[in-house]
Amino acid sequence: MEKKRNVGVFQCENGNWGYRYTVVVGGETRAKKKVKDENGIPFKTEKQAIRARNRAIAEEQLNAKRRTVIKRKTFSDVYKEYCETGRSGKAYSTIRKQDSLWRNHLKERFGKKYVDEITVAEITDYLSMLYYEEGRAYGYVEGLLRFFYLVFGQAYARDYLDIDTYNKLCVNKDTKIKMPKMKVDEETEIVIFSKEELKKLDGYFKGTNAETAYMIGRYCGVRINECYGIMWSNIDFEEGTIRIERQMQYQEGVIKLVSLKTRNAKRTIYMAKPLQEYLEKLYFQKEEWEEELADQRQQNQIFIEDANGKLVSCLELVNTLPNGKRQSINSMKYHANKVKEKLGIHFKYHYLRHTYGTALADKNTPPHILCNQMGHGNINVTQQYYVAVSRRAVEVLKHNLKAI
C-alpha cells in the first residue's frame, strides 16, 4: 500500500525536504515556499518539514490576528504620549535630556515611522554610525539606546507593539538592540588625583571663593550639583554628618534647588575630620559676618525656589560668600581653567568624587557602605573604584617584583 503524502510537503532532488502553503491575510493571498529553517539549515526529514510548515502557518495566523487588534502608532505619537502621561515626577535634567535627544537625533529620522516597523538592524546601524563615524561619546550613544527602550516599552504597555516584536527589540538577548562594540581607546577609567596633586590643589583653593565647595568635594565625594545644594541645616556637627537632600540646577536660566535625580542619591555622609573642622570654623565666622557685614549680606541676598516650591534665602546655603553673594555650579569653571594654567593639572570637580571613592576603596571600605556614601543605585558602579585600586595595586606589584 502506497504511503499517503502530506499536503504541502515535498522532497527535493537532493533528498532534503521542503514545504509550501498559501494563506489569506486581510484579503491578500500570500504564498510561501521553504526548503530551509530560519537559520538556513535544510530540512533533512519529512517530519522536520511538516513541523516547520505547521509552525509557519500558525505564526501567519497569529500575526494576522494581532494586526487586527494592535493600534498602529508612529514613534512620534508614542513619545508625545509618554511626555503627556508617562514622565510626571521625572527630574528636570532628565526631561531636558530626553527632549534634546528627541529634537537633535530621533525626531527627523524615526518620528514618522510606525513603532512596529522599526527593525533592530535599523537602530543598530544608526547607533554605530553615531559612535564610529560621528565620534559621539559612548555614554551619549547609550542615552539614545535607553531612549529607544523607553519608547518601545511605552508602546508595548499601550498595545501598540505585540509581545513578540517587543521581545525581539528589547528583551531577547540574542536579538535585542545593543550598543556598538566599544572602541579600544574609549576613556572609561576612573580618574583620580595623586597625593602630590591633591597637595597642590589644597594650596590653590585655600582662600578662594571656591574653597568650601572644593573641601566638600574632596572629603565627601559629592556631585557638584549636590554640593551647591547643601544648606547649613543639613549639617549635624554633633554626629559629624551632612544630609544630601537636594541639588542646585539651572532651569530655563534660573537657579533652583530641586529634588535629587535618584532615591539613592538622598543620603547621609559622614565627614572626615579636616572637613568637619573647616566647616565648624566657617560656621562661627558666618555668625561674625552676620553682624559685621549685615548691610552687604542683606543687599546681596537673593531668594531661590526650593524643591518644595517655597523660597529660601541664599544665606542659608553653605556655599555663600561672606558678603552674602551666592555661589553656583558655574563658580568652579573659572578655577578649573586656572588650575590647568598654574598647576598643569586637568581639573574636573567630578574627579574629586573619583578620588574620594577610590581612596575609601583602597582602605577596604565594605562595598555596600561605599555604595551608600557615594549615592549609587547600583553596586556595580561602586565596584569601579575597587577595580581602579586593583590597577594601582598592579603597579605596586610590579615594583615589588623587581626586589625578588
The pLDDT tens digits for 345-367 are 999 999 999 999 999 998 999 99
Count Cβ neighbours within 10 Å for each residue of 370-384 and write b for 16 or more, e otherwise.
bbbbbbbeeeeebeb
Residue-wise pLDDT tens digits, 86-145 = 888 787 888 889 999 999 899 999 999 999 999 999 999 999 988 888 878 888 899 999
Position 252 scores a pLDDT of 76
269 φ/ψ angles, rounded to the nearest 5 degrees: -105, 135
Q: Quick one: pLDDT band at residue 1, thresholds 50, 70, 90?
A: very low
Position 6 scores a pLDDT of 74
- Name the residue among 316, 321, 318, 319 with its Cα closest to residue 306: 316
DSSP 149: H
Beta bridge mates, 21 = 32
Q: Quick one: pLDDT band at residue 385, thresholds 50, 70, 90?
A: confident
Q: Quick one: pLDDT band at residue 146, thresholds 50, 70, 90?
A: very high
Higher model confidence: residue 396 or residue 322?
322
| Side chain identity at residue 167, one-letter code | N
Q: How far apart are CA 244 and CA 230, in angstroms?
A: 7
Residue pair 257/301 in contact by the 8 Å Cβ criterion = no
Position 300 scores a pLDDT of 95
94 φ/ψ angles, rounded to the nearest 5 degrees: -65, -45
Q: Quick one: pLDDT band at residue 2, thresholds 50, 70, 90?
A: very low
Position 70 scores a pLDDT of 59
Assign residue 156 a region (left: φ > 0; alpha: ψ between -120 and 50; beta: otherwise). Answer: alpha
- How far from 329 is each of 225, 275, 341, CA to CA, in Å? 7, 20, 20
Helix (H) or strand (E) holding 254: strand 254-258
Rounded to the nearest integer, the mean pLDDT of the chain is 89
Residue 165: CB partners within 8 Å, gap ≥ 6?
116
Position 69 scores a pLDDT of 47
Residue pair 20/31 in contact by the 8 Å Cβ criterion = yes
Q: How far apart are CA 132 and CA 139, in angstroms?
A: 13
Position 5 scores a pLDDT of 62
Q: How far apart are CA 403 and CA 233, in angstroms?
A: 54
Average pLDDT of the residues in 369-394 = 85
* pLDDT(246) > 60: yes
Instruction: Report residue 94 as a C-alpha cell.
Output: 532628565
Average pLDDT of the residues in 149-173 = 92
Q: Quick one: pLDDT band at residue 186, thresholds 50, 70, 90?
A: low
Chain CA centroid to CA 375, Å = 14
* pLDDT(202) > 80: yes
Q: How far apart are CA 217 and CA 222, in angstroms?
A: 5
* pLDDT(228) > 50: yes
- Residue 250 has a CB neighbour count (10 Å cut-off) of 14
Q: What is the CA radius of gyration of the chain?
A: 30
The CA-based angle 38-42-43, given to 5 degrees, is 100
Q: Quick one: pLDDT band at residue 64, thresholds 50, 70, 90?
A: low
Higher model confidence: residue 302 or residue 68?
302
Cα separation of the two ends of the chain: 86
Q: Which residue do the cell numbers 499601550 mark?
A: 158
Average pLDDT of the residues in 170-189 = 80
Q: Quick one: pLDDT band at residue 390, thresholds 50, 70, 90?
A: confident
- Residue 398 has a CB neighbour count (10 Å cut-off) of 9
Q: Quick one: pLDDT band at residue 75, thresholds 50, 70, 90?
A: very high
Average pLDDT of the residues in 215-230 = 96
Residue pair 329/228 in contact by the 8 Å Cβ criterion = yes
Residue pair 333/224 in contact by the 8 Å Cβ criterion = no
